[in-house]
Amino acid sequence: MSSTTINKAGNELMNAKELRADGVREQRLLLSLATPALLAVIAIIVIPVGWLFYLSFVGNDGHLSLENYQKMIEYKSYARTFVTTFQVSLLTTLLCILIGYPLAYFLAIMPARLAGFFMLAVLLPFWTSLLVRTYAWLVLLQKNGILNDFGMAAGLWDEPIKLVHNLTGTLIGMAHIMLPFLVLPLYSSMRKIERDMMHAAANLGASPIQAFWKVYFPLSISGMVAGSLIVFVLCLGFYVTPAVLGGGRVVMVATQITAILENQFNWGAASALGVVLLVATLVILFAVSKLFKLDNALFGKH
């Protein structure tokens, strides 16, 4: 045995140094590919959020203080805003599940090619500007809007129903905009449920309804929770639709932040609101992912 073959004493191993160097080179190359994205994340997200976080702890006199957070506890309007925000988000999520689950199921059981076509119908509005869709709802829902005109002409109701500039309008608009965010993850998790699962359930004596509730639904929960979380979190910070369709009556956190900045130019108070919302969102995400063991669906683990 020459000194360059593999040696238990670990002395001179054949090409060991070169192979190690090659491995390090490969890792560096992969890291360099991710660098632009990492830098962008730092510049666009980490630094500004950190700055806002810092501002939230700076009082009106320019010194560090908790006064911005104290105000949030003192003034009832802040609490009301948070209640409204969570209420609207929760209701929107529930509406999306109610409409989205049957839709995703319908897409999942049909042949893939047909499903792709119907998926277009779900995605098409997705590609239209948010603002356009929101104002479109305004046109449909307002006092002299198409829906009220039609309803009254058909004799369904006599007085124009107030469908917009309130919670109803906000929920209709938001549910419409959020629906794809629920349907897409739900559809993909439903597609993964093997057809044999339902066959097996039926074969073992389950009626179609029993098979659905005992086998299909439990297997689709993870997709449903993942989609619901996305919808819920997006709703928490939503601005345009509640502002337009809520007509000032549905004040959510994002609206409140804008108001503070426009009226008082108080960065500290606005930042504090943002920070509280961010922390609340993270707590909810963490709790739900623990509750449903959602690591795979949310964080891409396999």
The C-alpha atoms of residue 160 and residue 278 are separated, in whole angstroms, by 39
Q: Does 194 bind other proteins (CB under 8 A)?
A: yes
Task: Map residues 205-244 to x or -, x wherever contact with other proteins holds by CB under 8 A.
Answer: xxxx-xx--xx--xx-------------------------
- Figure out which of the listed residues 38, 123, 200, 287 binds other proteins, where binding follows CB under 8 A: 200
- 218 or 248: CB nearest other proteins: 218
Instruction: Spell out the residues 6+ positions from residue 69 whose beta carbon is closer than 8 angstroms to its own.
Output: 56, 272, 276
- 70 or 207: CB nearest other proteins: 207
- 206 or 288: CB nearest other proteins: 206
- Figure out which of the listed residues 9, 196, 263, 299 binds other proteins, where binding follows CB under 8 A: 196
The C-alpha atoms of residue 57 and residue 65 are separated, in whole angstroms, by 5
Q: Does 109 bind other proteins (CB under 8 A)?
A: no
Q: What is the DSSP letter of 58?
A: B
- 60 or 210: CB nearest other proteins: 210
Among 93, 88, 236, CA closest to 170? 88
**What's the token pair of residue 132?**
């356009």
- 83 or 197: CB nearest other proteins: 197
The C-alpha atoms of residue 86 and residue 148 are separated, in whole angstroms, by 29
Q: Does 293 bind other proteins (CB under 8 A)?
A: no
CB of 300 to other proteins, least distance (A): 18
- 41 or 200: CB nearest other proteins: 200
Q: What is the DSSP letter of 126?
A: G
Question: Counting runs of H as helices and runs of E as strands, what totals does the chain give?
Answer: 15, 0
User: Considering CB under 8 A, how many residues would be counted as binding other proteins?
Assistant: 19
Q: How far apart are the first and last CA of the chain?
A: 45
3-state helix, strand, coil in the chain (%, to 5): 75, 0, 25
The CA-based diameter of the chain, rounded to the nearest angstrom, is 101
- 201 or 272: CB nearest other proteins: 201
Among 217, 257, 219, 216, CA closest to 236? 257
The C-alpha atoms of residue 220 and residue 192 are separated, in whole angstroms, by 9
CB of 191 to other proteins, least distance (A): 15
CB of 195 to other proteins, least distance (A): 9
Q: Give SS3 for 64.
A: strand
- 204 or 282: CB nearest other proteins: 204
CB of 110 to other proteins, least distance (A): 17
Q: Does 199 bind other proteins (CB under 8 A)?
A: yes
CB of 292 to other proteins, least distance (A): 12
Q: Does 204 bind other proteins (CB under 8 A)?
A: yes
Summarize as ranges the residues that interact with other proteins (CB under 8 A): 194, 196-197, 199-208, 210-211, 214-215, 218-219
